[in-house]
Amino acid sequence: MTNHWVDIKNADVILIMGGNAAEAHPCGFKWVTEAKAHNKARLIVVDPRFTRSASVADLYVPIRTGTDIVFLGGVIRYLLANDKIQHEYVRNYTDFSFIVREDFSFERGLFSGYDAEKRTYDKASWDYEKGEDGFVKTDPTLGHPRCVYNLLKQHYARYTPEMVERVCGTPRDKFQAVCDLLASTAVPTRAMTILYALGWTQHSIGSQIIRTGAMVQLLLGNIGVAGGGMNALRGHSNIQGLTDLGLMSNLLPGYMTLPTEQEQDYDQYIEARASKPLRPNQLSYWQNYGKFHVSLMKAWWGDAATAENRWAFDYLPKLDKPYDLLQVVELMNQDKMTGYIAQGFNPLAAAPNKAKVMRGLSRLKFLVVMDPLATETSEFWRHAGEYNDVDPAQIQTEVFRLPTTCFAEEDGSLVNSGRWLQWHWKGAEPPGLARTDIEIMSGLFLRLRELYRKDGGKFPDPIVKLSWPYARPDSPTPEEIAKEYSGRALTDLADPKDPAKILHRAGEQLSGFAELRDDGSTLSGCWIFCGAWTQAGNQMARRDNADPTGIGQTLNWAWAWPANRRVLYNRASCDTAGKPFNPARKLIGWNGKSWGGADVPDFKIDEDPGQGMGPFIMLPEGVARFFARANMAEGPFPEHYEPFETPLGYNLMNGKRPEAVSNPAARVFPGDWANFGKADAFPHVATTYRLTEHFHYWTKHARINAVLQPEQFVEIGEALAKEIGIVAGDRVKVSSKRGYIKAVALVTKRIKPLQIDGRTVHTVGVPIHWGFTGLARPGFLANTLTPFVADGNSQTPEFKSFLVKVEKA
C-alpha cells in the first residue's frame, strides 16, 4: 500500500477492483465501512461476480475477467477528453511535459523493438529525448507532439465506451456512472483510494493492469494524499515482509536487486542502480544504493566483506533468469532439479496445472517439507482415489517432513499491507516435536557449514564465511535477527557535518537509513527496516494509538517502513509552494524552514519548495511516470491483451492482429503452448478465488472451518445452469485443457452472463480451498484446471482467467 489501512477512512470514493476485500480482508474492510459511515464515501466494486464487497457497494459493475486495462484505459480517455484531471498536480508532479524519443512507436498492438522469435522487446526506443546537458527535454506548454501527455492521449483514444462495452461486457451506463464518480475526485479536496489484490495481479498482463490503475490515480491527483493511493491488499499476514526482505529470486533485502550474469563488476553493478537525476535539482535517492548495499554485505559476511574484495561482491550469485515457482517446476520437469525445500508452502495445491507440478515432484531425488501439517505436497505420492490418481511404486522421490511451529507459537514481527512492522508475542507453546523455522534453518546451515569446512567444495567462502554472531548459534532469537535487520554502527560514527561530534559509538543501534555508509562502518540487513530497533529499543512493539489530528496517523503505534512514514509520496499532498491541497486532511506542509505535520515527510526535511525538487524522490525524474520507459516487459503504456485462454480468440483493441491477441511478452515455456484450450472445446470463462471461511489449503485441517465449508463447489449463473440442464446441488464436471474436477453446483443470481462483442459469455467461479488432506471432504485441487503462463514482469500465474467446459457429472 502507498497508504495504510486506517487511512482508508479518509477516502471520498473507494474503488474495489481486482479484489474482494470484504471476504479476503474482513478486518481491514472495517475502514471502508468507517469511510461510508463518517465520510459519506461512495463505494464502487468492479468484479465479474457480485461479491460480499459488492453487497455493500453503492455501485456494482460487472466486467469480464482479464479486461481491466480496457475499462481503466476507458477511464483515462474519459478524464482526458473531459478535462477531469487535477491540473496543478499533473503538470508539476508527473512526466506529462517530458519528450519521448523519435524512434518510439506503437502500432496495432505492438510497440517498437519487438522480436517475435524471442518474444521480447529491444527497449532502446522506450525512452525520453535527452539534451546535451544529459537532462530530459521537456515542453511545459504540452504542445510538442511527442510529449508524454500527447502520446498518452493518443494511446487511449481507442479506449472508447463502445469498446469497453464490447470487450469487457460492462453496460455503458454503468461505465459512465463509474467515470463520473471517479472524476469527482479530480478536485484537490476530494480523494479516492483504489483497493486491489489478485483480481488484478493474477493475469498474464497483471502488472500493467495495476499500472493503469496508478495512472488513473495520478491524473486525479490522488497519489500521496490522505484517503488516496494505490493500495495492494496483501495476502499472508507477512507476505509484505517477504518481498521487503528480498525473498524473491531476483531481489535482495530492501528492493535492491541481485546482479545479473552480465554484471560481474562491482562498480558497474552499483552504477547501474545509483541513478543520476534526469532533471535539474532532483534528489534521485537511489544514488545512495552503495550505502545500503555495503551495509547489507557487512550484515551477511561481517569482517569477510572488505573494501579490497569489493564487499564480497563475488559471494553473490549472478542471475541468468528469475527462479520463480513456474521456472522451478519447469526445471523439475526437465530433470534439472535434484531436490526442493517447501517451507510453509504447498506448491501442489497452490501452483497452476497440477499435472505438471505432480510430474515435477515425481522426478526429484528428495523433497523437504517444513510445515506444521501434512499437506498435499508432502503427500503428493500417496494414492487418494480419483483426486490423486498416482501409483506410489512409480515415484522414487524421498520425502522428509520437518514439523515446524506456526506463527502463533513464536515471537517476532509481521509486516502488514500498510508497511507497519508489528511485533507479536507467542500465544502458546508448540506441540510435540515441532521446532521453529529459525531453529531448523540454523541446524541445516551449521551442518552444511561443517561439511564445507571439512570437505571444501567449489566455492566454500559464501557459506564458511557467513556471519553468524548469535549467542546460541543453533537457535538465534527473533530479537537478535530484528536488531541485525535494523542495523548498527561497526565503528564510532562521527557526524559528517561536525567531525568532533560522535553520532553513535561502535556497537550502538542506528536511528535510520540516512546514517548508513559505504565504507564498511555500518551494518544493516535491510535498509528500509533501519530504525525499527534503535538505541531506544524495539519500535515495532510500540502500542500508543494517539492520533493527534484525527486522520488516523498514529505514528507511535508500531513502526512503518521507510523511516516510520505512513503515506508514501506525501510531499505530493501539497502544492508547489508547500501548502496542503486539502487543509482538512493535512499530512505535511512547509512552514518556511522545514517540512512537518501529521506524517514523516517523504522529502528532504529542509528543502525549500521554491527550488523545484519533485515529490517522487526515489525516481531520477523527480516526478511520477505515465511513460514507464524500459521498466516493463510489454511496453511503456499499458495495452490490452486477451487472457491466454480467450473466449473471443481475437483482440478487438488492435484490429484482431494475430501476433498480439495475448500479451506478446508474457512468459510461456515452449512445452506449454500445446496446453492452452480454445473456446470451441472450452466455452466458459473460469476464475478462481477464496472464501472467508478458509485460509487457502490449511484451515481444512481445522474441524470448525471444515464444517463451515465442507467441500468443493463451483458457482454457476442461472442462465448457464439452465443451458446445461442442472439445478443447485447437482454434481458437475468442470474440465479444462489440463484436466478436470468434480464439484457441487451452486446456482446463483450473483454471476450474470456477459455480452461480449455480440456473443454470450458465461463466467464460472471456482473457490480454491479443498484437496485430499485434512478434515473437509476429500476432493480435487482447483489448480488441476489452471494454465501454466505468467506475467512477464512479476512471473505471477494467470489464475484468474481461463477456459473450461461445465457439464453434468
Site residues (CB under 6 A) for ligand MGD?
17-20, 24-25, 46-49, 51, 63, 65-66, 68, 197-199, 202, 235-236, 343-346, 350, 370-373, 375, 404-407, 437, 687-690, 692, 694-698, 768, 782-783, 786, 799-801
Q: Specify the residue, 570 or 687, whose C-beta has the smaller distance to Mo ion.
A: 687
Cβ-based nearer residue to ligand MGD, 692 or 794: 692
Question: Which residues are CB-contacts of 422 (< 8 A; sequence separation ≥ 6)?
Answer: 413, 414, 415, 416, 540, 558
Exposed/middle/buried for 4, CB within 10 Å: 0-12, 13-18, 19+? buried
Three-state SS for 688-733 is: EECCCCCCCCCHHHCHHHHHHCCCCEEEEEHHHHHHHCCCCCCEEE
CB of 62 to ligand MGD, least distance (A): 9
In angstroms, the Cα distances linking 732 to 354, 540, 713 are: 20, 50, 9
Question: Minimal distance in Å, beta carbon 100 to ligand MGD?
Answer: 30
The residues pairing with 257 across neighbouring beta strands, listed in sequence order, are 251
The entry of Mo ion, ligand MGD, none near residue 689 (CB within 5 to 8 angstroms by kind) is ligand MGD
For the chain, how many residues are written? 809
Q: What does 525 interact with, of Mo ion, ligand MGD, none (CB < 5 to 8 A by kind)? A: none
Closest CA to 520 of 485, 481, 493: 493
- C-beta closer to ligand MGD: residue 66 or 531: 66
**d(C-alpha 625, C-alpha 137), whole Å:** 15
Q: Kindly write out the interface string for residues 209-248 of this chain, putting x where it contacts Mo ion by CB under 5 A and - elsewhere.
A: --------------------------x-------------
Tell which phi-psi region holds residue 559, choosing left (phi > 0), alpha (psi between -120 and 50) or beta: beta
CB-wise, 90 or 373, nearer to ligand MGD? 373
Please state, in angstroms and rounded to a whole number, the distance separating the CA atoms of residues 698 and 374: 9
List 642's β-bridge partners, or say none: 662
User: In the complex, what is the shortest distance from the CB of residue 167 to ligand MGD, in angstroms, rounded to a whole number?
Assistant: 12
- 52 sits in the region (left: phi over 0; alpha: psi -120 to 50; else beta) called alpha
Number of residues that bind Mo ion (CB under 5 A): 1
Please work out, in degrees rounded to the nearest 5, the angle formed at the alpha carbon of residue 27 by the alpha carbons of 25 and 32. Answer: 80
Q: Which of 733, 716, 746, 727 is nearest to 780 (CA)?
A: 733
Strand-pairing partners, residue 98, are: 138
Using only the alpha carbons of the chain, give its radius of gyration: 27
Closest CB to ligand MGD among residues 318, 696 = 696
Closer by beta carbon to ligand MGD, 97 or else 378: 378
The nearer residue to Mo ion, 236 or 365, going by C-beta atoms, is 236
Q: E-strand spans in 537-592?
A: 537-538, 559-560, 588-590
Q: Which of the listed partners (Mo ion, ligand MGD, none) does 373 bind, with a CB threshold of 5 to 8 Å by partner kind? A: ligand MGD
In the complex, minimum distance from the CB of residue 446 to ligand MGD, in angstroms, rounded to a whole number: 19
* Residue 747 interacting entry, from Mo ion, ligand MGD, none, C-beta within 5 to 8 Å by type: none
Question: Nearest approach, Cβ of 233 to Mo ion (angstroms)?
Answer: 10
Which neighbouring-strand residues pair with 343? 370
Residue nearest to Mo ion (CB): 235
Q: Which partner in Mo ion, ligand MGD, none is near 697 (CB below 5 to 8 A by kind)?
A: ligand MGD
Q: How far is the CB of 235 from Mo ion (least distance, A)?
A: 3
Which entry of Mo ion, ligand MGD, none binds 601, CB below 5 to 8 A by partner kind?
none
Distance in Å, CB of 238 to ligand MGD, minimum: 9
- Which residue lies nearer to ligand MGD by CB, 24 or 297? 24
Helix axes 266-273, 289-301, angle to 10 degrees: 130
User: At its nearest, how many Å lie between ligand MGD and the CB of residue 421?
Assistant: 17
Describe the chain by its helix, strand, coil percentages, rounded to 5.
Answer: 30, 20, 50
**Among ligand MGD, Mo ion, none, partner that 253 touches (CB below 5 to 8 angstroms by kind):** none
Q: Output 66 or 221, the one with its CB closest to ligand MGD.
A: 66
The label of the residue with cell 544504493 reads 289
Nearest distance from C-beta of residue 489 to ligand MGD, angstroms: 32
Residues numbered 674 to 703 that lie near Mo ion (CB under 5 A) are none
Name the helix (H) or strand (E) containing 760.
Answer: strand 759-761
Partner touching 46 among Mo ion, ligand MGD, none, CB below 5 to 8 Å by kind: ligand MGD
Q: Which is nearer to Mo ion, 235 or 531 (CB)?
A: 235
CB of 768 to ligand MGD, least distance (A): 5
Could you tell which of ligand MGD, Mo ion, none binds residue 538, using a CB distance below 5 to 8 A set by kind?
none
Indicate the residue among 86 and 217 with the shorter CB distance to ligand MGD.
217
Residues that bind Mo ion (CB under 5 A): 235
